[in-house]
Copies of this chain bind each other. A is one copy, B any other.
Amino acid sequence: MRAGIITIGTELLLGDILNTNQKFLSSLLTSLGIEVYRHISVGDYEKPMKEAIKKCMDDCDIILLSGGLGPTEDDCTKEYLSEVIQRPLEKNEDEYKKMVELFQRKNYTLTKNNLKQIYTIKDSVILHNEWGTAPGEYVKYKNVHIFIFPGPPTELEPMAKKYLPSLIFDKTEIYEKSIQIMGLGESAVETRLRTLDLPKSLEINTFAHFGSVEIKIIGKSSSTNQVNIDVQRSIEIIKEEFASSIYSLEGNMMEEEIIKRCMEKNLKIAFAESVTGGLLVKRITSYPNASNILHASVVTYSNQSKEEILKVPRKDLETYGAVSEKVAMEMARGLYELGYCDIAISTTGEAGPIPSEKPIGTVYIGFYNGKKYRTKKLHLNGSRREIQKRIATVIFTELLKVELGGNNGN
């Protein structure tokens, strides 16, 4: 089944607000196995709104309209829909009674504009709005399911969750599974996915996150068993293809997976950051439970702070320069010896925009676990921020592959 979502409101077209209703409804429909085919947003004007409704009538099985149900004269969603599907608006006595009671209780004056809200489309199902005043409506017209929801997300979201599935369905169920890939770009993942012999019954798509790629498998069916078997089979095939590039089968971001594995292995990490300037520690601490695996971290931008806080020998700074393999190693060692971590990770490099001792994009990273040093030299392109982000991606990937490896869901 295919759906079109039509959101109505001048504030959307002015760019004043993000269209969260579009995202919410899309995500809800997707989770129900319904393909969202088109989003349209228009103002409260007759021509574009009627055209949008007609267009979606042509090629969708479900149309969701949101907004334009308010009491002002601009709000004409019901009116225009009623004209397109040629079903008149009628005064709804139940809604009228409710409104009169509400206004009496609140001691408000009922105006002509308020009364607009109690006219509903002939033969529609009224979707009661427990979260606001304007009711929603459901109409089935020429086999198309049409829903009208109020615009405020605090009303639309609970109403859509409550009424959509039961009015559209029958019994089809949805199976979703995510596989997270590191160290490969989205197009590489997609190219390799295409070569695999995966069950045709499933929707399999890729999504790029920062530093990782998600493969999402979606199966829909009324026969539970076959979908389950297909999803399981595709996971096995994908696991075989991507092997150690898979780091999570639970939908975790890289940071979450690092926190999870450190907690399982009872390990603490810490960062001694120069070129990344706090990005690594910030990325980890923006996830819950970070305090279980990270007790302290330092940003040592200047040579003096590298020397004093991390005990990097002055002669190394002088001989090799701050951006060098030796200094990355010494930074990791010095951090480890502060005693806050089991795995110390260091970064030093040039992120630009003005190069100093080494060319922009030259980066050294160091790992030290009290026994073994490991360093890596990187040559990165991009803006200052891109370089910093790419270093974070490399470090999180390395950590998950090596120091925290062997637990990638395989």
Interface on A for B, CB 8 Å cutoff? 10-20, 22-30, 35-43, 47-48, 51-52, 55, 59, 70-72, 102, 105-106, 111, 113, 131, 186-187, 190-191, 205, 207, 276-282, 284-288, 290-291, 294-302, 304-305, 309, 338, 340, 352-354, 381, 383-385, 388
Contacts and interface: CB of A to CB of B under 8 A. Distances in A.
A356 to B, nearest CB: 9
29 contacts: A12-B23, A13-B36, A14-B205, A15-B22, A15-B23, A15-B25, A15-B30, A15-B36, A18-B19, A37-B43, A71-B187, A72-B190, A102-B381, A113-B187, A131-B383, A278-B282, A279-B286, A281-B282, A285-B299, A287-B384, A288-B384, A291-B301, A295-B305, A296-B299, A296-B302, A296-B309, A297-B301, A298-B298, A302-B340
A259 B54 CA distance: 49
Contacts of A353: 288
Nearest to A385: B286
B304 A290 contact: no
A174 B184 CA distance: 43
A49 to B, nearest CB: 10
Contacts of A352: 288
Given A22-B41, A282-B279, A296 B288 contact: no
A17 B381 CA distance: 21
Number of identical protomers: 2
A175 to B, nearest CB: 15
Contact of A26 (B14, B30, B286, B384): B14
A149 B18 CA distance: 19
A301 B278 contact: no
Contacts of A388: 285-286
